[in-house]
Structure formats: structure tokens, C-alpha cells
Amino acid sequence: MTTPAFDALAPGREAIQRKTIRTLVLSQALGGIAITSGIAVSTLLAEEILGSPALAGLTQTAQVLGAAAGAFVLARLMAARGRRLGLVAGYAIGGVGAALCVLAGAVASFAVLLAGTFALGWATAANSQARFAATDLAEPGKRARSLALVVWATTLGAVIGPNMTGPGAVVARWLGIPEITGIFVLAFGTVAIGAGVLWRFLRPDPLLLAREHAAARGEATSAHAGFRRVWAVVSVRPRAAAAMIAIAVAHGVMVSVMVMTPLHMGHGGADLEIIGFVISMHVLGMFAFSPLVGWLTDRVGHAAMLAGGSVLLLGSVALAGSAPEGHSAGLTVGLFLLGLGWSCCLIAGSALLVDSVPFADRPAAQGASDLLMGLFAAAAGAAGGAVVAIWGYAVLNIAAGVLALVVLGAAAVARKSRVAVA
């Protein structure tokens, strides 16, 4: 239900919120193209530079760690100067990362490539933080659907990005650089345009305007955005802690199973087209249904959607873990459910975090949550490879199922209190 404070500000606030969502959706799609482009070819470029695939996976690790580091730093910048400057800074650093990846290919330097993918991870952090910007001016009962629309926009980037390799090669030949680096030139262009969209159209800044509204209601509007402050806030709010744990663990489940699935399929003789189709179905589950997930979260509540997401994750690992090597219908459905369960947990957990933390502390808590999510994903991805190498893909899915039960426990904690922060 809309509060009296929101009613008083409704006419102007609603128009600005609609403009904010449109701007975030457009920039999210552009930034997503750059991010997924880097993911698509960075390991191939690393193998080409090194002459071996042994260390090629470090580029993905560097991008994940860059996203984790960028999340908290950008959140602190947003807390001080607003969403617009923070998001643009993340995209700008990501653009530098894309340029470094081009340079790495030109001079055949693996160290420069790692620096580039780490910096590109900051664009990932900005893309992730954008979902929270969608909630700054949203009514309490519409926050999940608002952030879900921004998450949905990533679908466009996820579909277009990996398919930019061909046009990138044409650009590379025109510029006289290695063909494989051409996609990073296009990534630089899309992330630069995304930053320009944010700089030009994210006005007024949603966080700064929400801060003005909060001050008018007599609320505290600023707080120190350090780790100690975040711990002080989250440690006394079980719902906030549950939200952060659910987001991080669900992301870890998704990453650990997803990155090992192509290997499991390849061992059974599945060709690249079939592997690509299964991963595409997984990405479809991650993003395509986000608006529906957001609407359902606002309707049934955060805890119910977190529980539903956990059940979907359990079903997904049961299907994937029992699937034979190669391709099977069960594996395809399992990977789709893995993406859909992740979507439910991310959207419901993010909305729960917003509703569970006082306004002044939200940017810092949001940055800390994305930092935790990134670090947990990096650890889960590395551990997943070790588990598959020693015990196999089925055991990895059993371990992922145990983690999914942790998400279910977080949902139970969230259900204990339904009091939301306005």
C-alpha cells in the first residue's frame, strides 16, 4: 500500500521514476553487450597469448574479482555523490578495461589481459548496482518489479554480446589489430554509449532525490559507508542478513553448476552448437522472466519467492546431476530451472535487502551484498572445477543442492518478520 508520504510526492515522483527506469534499461542493455562480449572471448584470447588453455580461466576469475571489488567501491561513491556518478564511473573503468584487452592482444601480454578483464569487471559491478537504482524512488510495494525490469534488460546484452565476434573481426581487420580483439573494440563503444546515456538522462539523480524526500519526512539521509557500518546494520537485522546470504549462495550455486556443464556435455561428445543451445536456455531462465518474478515477489512476498527459488534450484541440480554426459532433455530443463531459480533468488533477495535496511544505509549494504556475491561466486566456480576433477559432475550438483537448502533457510528467517523499511 502507498504511504501518505509517497502520496504527497506521487505525481512528480512517478514521472521521474518512469524516466529513471527507461534510462536504466537502455544503459543496462548496452553495458550487458560489453560484459558478455568480454566473457565470450577473453579465455580464447588468453589461450592464444599463452599457447595453452591451462591458465586461460584466470581471465574469468579476474573479471569476477573486478566486479566484486567494484561493487563496494562504486556503492561508496554512490552514497556520497549519487547513482549517476557511480554508475558512469563503473562503465568508464569498464571501457578502460576493454581498451586494455585490445592492447593485450596487440602486444601479446597476459598480464595486460588480466588487468583489462579485472577493469571490465567494474562495468559488471555497475550493471549489477543499477538494479538498486531502480528502487530509490519506487513505492515500497513495487520495488521488486522495478528492479526486475532492469535485470530483464540484461537479456538483450546476453543475447547480442556473444554474437558480436563476427562484426568485431571485421572491425579488427579494418583497424589492423588481431581479429579476436575486435569484439573488445565494440565492447568499448557500447559501454561508452551506455555511460553517455546515464550521464545525459539519469537526471535528477534517483538516490539524491530520494534523499531529499527522506529528509522532508524527517529521516536520516546519510551514513558512513564502511564495512563496520554495514556489519553494524546487518548484524542486528536478520532479514537483511538473510537477503545477503540468499543472494550470494544462490549465485554461487548457479555459477558452479553453469561453468562446469559445458565440460560435462563435451565429455559425452556434445558438439558446440548443442552446448550453446543449453547455455542459451539457461540464460533465458536467468533473465527473460524477470518482470514476472518481480511482480510475483511484490504480490506473494520476499520469503515465499526465495523459498520458491530454492526449490527451483534443488530441482535443477537434481535433473542436471542425474543427467548422463553429453546432451539430454533433463540437462536442458535442469539448466533452464537453474537460471530461473537464480532469478527468483536475486530479485526477491535484492528487494528484501532494500526493505530491510534504513534508507541512509542502503547504498553501502547493497554494495557489500554484491561484493559478497562476487567473492562467493569466484570461490564456488573454483571449487566446482576441483570437485568435478576429483569426484565428478554428479557430486558437484549434490554439493550445490546442499547450498540451495541454505537459501531455503534464509527464506525461513525472512518469513519471521514482515515489517518493511519505507
- Digitized pLDDT (tens) for each residue of the chain, 422 residues in all: 444 444 445 567 889 999 999 999 999 988 888 787 776 678 778 888 988 766 766 887 888 889 999 998 999 999 999 999 999 999 999 999 999 999 999 999 999 999 999 999 999 999 999 999 999 999 888 999 999 999 998 877 777 776 777 888 889 999 999 988 998 999 999 999 999 999 999 999 999 999 988 888 777 767 666 788 899 999 999 999 999 999 999 999 998 998 888 888 888 888 767 887 888 788 889 998 999 999 999 999 999 999 999 999 999 999 999 999 988 899 999 999 999 999 999 999 999 999 999 998 999 999 999 999 999 988 888 888 889 889 999 999 999 999 999 999 999 999 986 554 45
Give me 278's grid cell: 543449453
Closest Cα to residue 384, out of 326, 347, 338? Answer: 338
What integer pLDDT is reported at residue 123 of this predicted model? 94
What integer pLDDT is reported at residue 223 of this predicted model? 64
What integer pLDDT is reported at residue 3 of this predicted model? 47
- Enumerate domains of the chain plus CATH numbers: 1-222 (1.20.1250.20), 224-422 (1.20.1250.20)
Give me 386's grid cell: 576441483
Question: What's the pTM value of the predicted model, to 2 decimals?
Answer: 0.89
Give me 147's grid cell: 528492479
What integer pLDDT is reported at residue 217 of this predicted model? 79
Give me 176's grid cell: 589492423
- Yes or no: say if 220 and 359 are a contact pair by the CB < 8 Å rule: yes
